[in-house]
Amino acid sequence: MAESGLSRPDIRQKIDPGHRPVRTRKLQWSVNRLSAGGTKPITEHVWVSLMDRLKILFLAALMLQGCGGGASAPMSPAPPAGSGVVPKGNRLLEIQVSEPASGDFTGAFNLAQTVGMQSASLALDWNDIDIGTDNLSGLPIYANDPETDFLAIANGCYPNSGTKLSLLLRSITTLTKMAPPGFENVAFDDPAMIARFELFIDHVFGKIPDLDITALAIGSEVDLYLLDANLRQEYLVFYEQVSAYARDAYAQMYPAKPPLSVAVEATHKGLLDAVTRSYYQQLNTFSDVIGVSYYPLSGGLVEDPSIVAQDFADMLALYPNQNLHFFQLGYPSGYYSTSAYPEYAAGQVTPVINSSDVLQSQFIEAVFSAWDANASRIDLIGFTWMHDETEADVAATIANPAFGGLQNPPPDFVEFLRTLGLRTEAAMDKPAWSTLATEAAARGWSDTGMTLTCQ
């Protein structure tokens, strides 16, 4: 944060008056804007949330274990390992760029470009943009603070940086319905709710004329909210209509661009679960690609990286005519080093999730191998995330009432969140980052030669 002279609390206060719980995705990025003369760099830091889905996913994994959720038995044989490296082809490498403790997002973004990053991700909660209704016109009131207008900022930065964007419009964020004020208790299949979201789509599309969108997800990890048959049926009707509207609206607004791919993101557990998988197959009949959130956890412990090939094969078997789009994918390293985790050096925490830097690195290898085995069926993988969160950030997130306000969070949950980065908070490479760079290079991903450039 040295460039702007703002500390992390300063920034939170700036974009979140009253320091209320931040529900939006914390994609931490700094914007190198140019003055009107085009010569004077102006650095702004804007935050969009990334941790919310991950921590709720982790808790949900624990909950499913305790509740005896439906089995997800293998449904197709996993491909054999060691089948050889496949050139990248049309596949897209996405990295969830998060800043180190120093606050140097620009440096992190540029480093990601050196390993071949082609796409970034932006997730926006519906009710963070649609903030009310005008009493006279009855039309939505949209947030218009230019400093937190992430759509306009992305439109001004990513095209100039040679970077595509995966866009998530979150009608649902994990356990929470993100309806605008006055619509909190309106059913998803209510015509008024559908019409309101369609207006939201129009607003969003009008702000991104220059962006190259990899896919649009409507809802994030929706399986963690759609826990009964009534809610699922409501969302089925909602998604059928708004997904079709989004495709048509985008085509009409941008006829020269490729058709928009629409998805709804669910966790891989939800997609594979014996109880819910038929519903998501039905829901995804209205999708162009299958949106996936992938963190292989079971009972608070990491699963062995060897499970990746089977998980990928099982998901693909359920969707033989649609490709997968991993909006997020990650694996924590655990407290593997006293130098990387001061709280571990001080004896304040104990490793409990059975992970290590070696396992995290092996996970990256396993992902690339499984991707190679299904190169024509997996369009994009978004590696989550680049840097570890600091102790303070993890503690603040866990204490957030929006996520339960846990005063005594499970140690495995804390360790998962704290150690998910491919690099440490001090911007030191973990073996997983080096492995990602090596695996990417072996397939033809290379330095893009681009840097974060905004206008």
> Whole-prediction pTM value?
0.85
DSSP 288: S
Q: What percent of the chain has pLDDT over 70?
A: 80
Whether residue 61 is contained in a domain is answered as yes
Convert the pLDDT of each residue in 75-133 to its tens digit. Answer: 445 444 445 899 999 999 999 999 999 999 999 999 999 999 999 999 999 999 999 99
Tell me the pLDDT of the chain averaged across its residues: 85
Q: How far apart are CA 2 and CA 101, in angstroms?
A: 11
Helix (H, G, I), strand (E, B) or coil at 220: strand
The gap between the terminal CA atoms of the chain, to the nearest Å, is: 20
Residue 190, in any domain of the structure? yes
CB 218 within 8 A of CB 242: yes
CATH assignment of the domain containing 88:
3.20.20.80
Measured between alpha carbons, how far is 150 from 281 in angstroms, rounded to an integer? 32
Amino acid, single-letter form, for residue 449? G
φ and ψ at 217, to 5 degrees?
-100, 135
Among residues 298, 310, 422, which one has the least CA distance to residue 367? 310
The answer as to whether 66 is a domain residue is yes
| Tens-place pLDDT, residues 46-74 | 333 344 444 444 444 444 443 334 444 44
Task: Assess if residue 21 is contained within a domain.
Answer: no
Q: What is the pLDDT of residue 51?
A: 45
- Does residue 299 form part of some domain? yes
Domain that holds residue 344: 51-442
Instruction: Tell me if 435 is assigned to some domain.
Output: yes
For 21-24, the CB contacts below 8 A with 24+ separation are 21/400, 21/401, 21/402, 21/403, 22/47, 22/49, 22/400, 23/49, 23/52, 23/125, 23/127, 23/128, 23/173, 23/176, 23/178, 23/402, 24/48, 24/49, 24/123, 24/124, 24/125, 24/128
What is the reported pLDDT for 405? 61
Structural domain total, the chain: 1
Q: Is residue 11 assigned to a domain?
A: no
pLDDT in tens, the chain (455 residues): 222 222 222 222 222 222 222 323 333 223 322 222 332 232 323 333 344 444 444 444 444 443 334 444 444 454 444 458 999 999 999 999 999 999 999 999 999 999 999 999 999 999 999 999 999 999 999 999 999 999 999 999 999 999 999 999 999 998 889 999 999 999 999 999 999 999 999 999 999 999 999 999 999 999 999 999 999 999 999 999 999 999 999 999 999 999 999 999 999 999 999 999 999 999 999 999 999 999 999 999 999 999 999 999 999 999 999 999 999 999 999 999 999 999 999 999 999 999 999 999 999 999 999 999 999 999 999 999 999 999 998 888 777 544 556 778 889 989 999 999 999 999 999 999 999 999 999 999 999 999 999 98
Q: What does each C-alpha distance from 17 to 44, 52, 148, 180 come to in angstroms?
A: 17, 19, 12, 18
Chain centre to alpha carbon of residue 87? 25
User: Identity (one letter) of the amino acid at 6?
Assistant: L
The backbone torsions φ and ψ at residue 378, rounded to the nearest 5 degrees and listed phi first, read -120, 110
Q: What is the pLDDT of residue 98?
A: 92
The answer to whether residue 280 is domain-embedded is yes
What phi and psi values does residue 401 have, to the nearest 5 degrees? -60, -25
**Helices 411-418 & 51-67, crossing angle to 10 degrees?**
140
The pLDDT value given to residue 404? 54
Contacts of 140 (CB under 8 A, 6+ apart): 130, 132, 133, 134, 180, 196, 199, 200, 203
